[in-house]
Amino acid sequence: MPVDKPAPVDHPVHPHIRARWSPVAFDVRPVEPEKLRSLFEAARWASSSFNEQPWRFVVGVKGQGDTFERILSTLGEANAAWAQHAPVLVISVAKLSFTRNGNSNRHAWHDVGQAAASLAIQATELGLRVHQMAGFNPAKARTELGIPDDYEPVTAIVIGYPGDGSLLPETTRARDDGARQRRPMAQIVFGGTWEQPPAWLA
């Protein structure tokens, strides 16, 4: 059961970028409030279109009220099976219009993703792990969490310390043993011609 699974990078990157990954095995250990504050501070300082900061986060801490259970109830079955053991569940939410003029913010989801990425890197710095999920019911999240019109649930996010997977069925636990994979850079970074790698990549 890997607690660490550093990315087999082709080029040097920051150690936290290598170390961040999305496990299914989380420890039941709670996350300290000061660490939660640092996570959302990191998210808060992401860049955003017109500095709108369209990200919102509904945070459920296990044992504190029923927000954790309400978020858990929105997760797809496969995700809930492992996410239930983690100490913190979050729904990220995008504000879809600009506060300054009411216009549609085409980059709201992009900016929420940026904030989530900052949060994940800060989590790595703090010894925590983050697992983002599309597999939840946004309509149910809207109802359960009172998310208003003009805001859209984006992802569910699991936060906690890495675990040994002892609470998980073997098939679920085995997911964490898979190799980390990425497309080669030449398939995602192009020069002047579509799908042609730039000269500096040669």
Cβ pair 133, 156 in contact under 8 A: yes
> Which residue of 62, 132, 142, 165 would you call a contact of ligand FMN, by CB under 6 A?
132
> What letter represents residue 101's amino acid?
N
Residue nearer to ligand FMN on the CB measure, 67 or 79: 79
Number of residues that bind ligand FMN (CB under 6 A): 9
Residue nearer to ligand FMN on the CB measure, 14 or 37: 14
Please list every residue from 12 through 41 that binds ligand FMN, using CB under 6 A.
Answer: 21-22
Q: Does 57 bind ligand FMN (CB under 6 A)?
A: no
Residues 6+ apart with CB under 8 A from 174: none
Please list every residue from 72 through 101 that binds ligand FMN, using CB under 6 A.
Answer: 79
> Which residue of 3, 97, 107, 135 would you call a contact of ligand FMN, by CB under 6 A?
135
Q: Does 161 bind ligand FMN (CB under 6 A)?
A: no
The interface region with ligand FMN, picked from 33-41, 64-72, 133-141, 159-167 by CB under 6 A, is 133-141
Applying CB under 6 A, which residues contact ligand FMN? 21-22, 79, 132-135, 155, 180
